[in-house]
Amino acid sequence: MGETNKYRCFNEDYSLEGKVALITGASNGIGMEITKMFARKGADIVTFDLKRSEEVENYITDQGRQCLTVEGDLTVTQDIQNAVDKAIEKFGRIDVLVNCAGIGFLEMAAESTEKVWDMTMAVNLTGSTRMALAVGKTMIKNGGGSIINIASQAGVVALERHLAYGTAKAGIIQMTKQLALEWGQYGVRINAISPTIILTQMGEMNWNNEKGEAFKKTIPSRRFGYPEEVAACAVYLASDAASLFNGANLVIDGGFTIS
């Protein structure tokens, strides 16, 4: 059998033991659930958020895992580099990056403001891209890694009131493909996850209303998602079981975008 046909064994329990993960937006919502599930799966964690969360820190250490907290703002390039430097200083490498931090302000195009556009692009697209670049370069040096970008169904299809948010998320999906194309050869895999509405602070703020109830009826599965369901996708993409996933967009939307 030639080299290309060799089957690489992986842990079928999707264990993340021995891996170091840097997770942005770890103090709330989806990022918090990803962090908790990663800790249960055995990863040591570097959290990056505007504000630290003691709940998250205690949860990680209660699982017997190591936790490094770095407070910072994704829109500040020095904060990104600081997080990467501190992670490397403590752990020597970063095996997984989850780019989860994001903001979601919705407005109709005709009433759209420069403020929402600029903030959304700065955090959701530019910040995430700069973090992927900073971490990815260390992964190339260390022989590989997995970058997971949290995009959205709004980056796949057009939705009312999503001009800035949807455009930024579509940008993240394309950024994922660009990096996957260039870095696959170095063992660095870059994939996206595109959830439907997820019941977090952000999800509730925008969708806990009549519009949300109407929206639910357009989802074939007739429900919104839970942060734990997105976390399970991230565990899979971080694990060695997903070693041939590169440049993919894992859509978790109850079938919303199929038609």
Ligand X SMILES: NC(=O)c1ccc[n+]([C@@H]2O[C@H](COP(=O)([O-])OP(=O)(O)OC[C@H]3O[C@@H](n4cnc5c(N)ncnc54)[C@H](O)[C@@H]3O)[C@@H](O)[C@H]2O)c1
- The site for ligand X (CB under 6 A) is made up of 24-25, 27-31, 49-50, 73-75, 100-104, 123, 127, 150, 152, 195, 197-198, 200-203
CA dihedral 152, 67, 184, 182 (to 10 degrees): 70
Minimum CB separation from ligand X for residue 75, in Å?
5
Q: Residue 107 or residue 240: which is nearer to ligand X going by CB?
A: 107
Q: Residue 99 or residue 239: which is nearer to ligand X going by CB?
A: 99
Q: Residue 121 or residue 241: which is nearer to ligand X going by CB?
A: 121
Tokens of 97: 């990056």
Minimum CB separation from ligand X for residue 242, in Å?
19
Minimum CB separation from ligand X for residue 9, in Å?
32
Spell out the residues 6+ positions from residue 33 whose beta carbon is closer than 8 angstroms to its own: 227, 228, 230, 231
Nearest to 80 by CA among 50, 53, 115: 50
The residues assigned a catalytic role are 165
| Amino acid at site 83 | A
Contact 155, 166 (CB under 8 A): yes
Minimum CB separation from ligand X for residue 232, in Å?
14
CA pair distance 26, 101, nearest whole angstrom: 7
CA pair distance 164, 121, nearest whole angstrom: 7
Please report the DSSP string for 154-179 in residue order. GGTS--TTBHHHHHHHHHHHHHHHHH
Q: Residue 150 or residue 180: which is nearer to ligand X going by CB?
A: 150
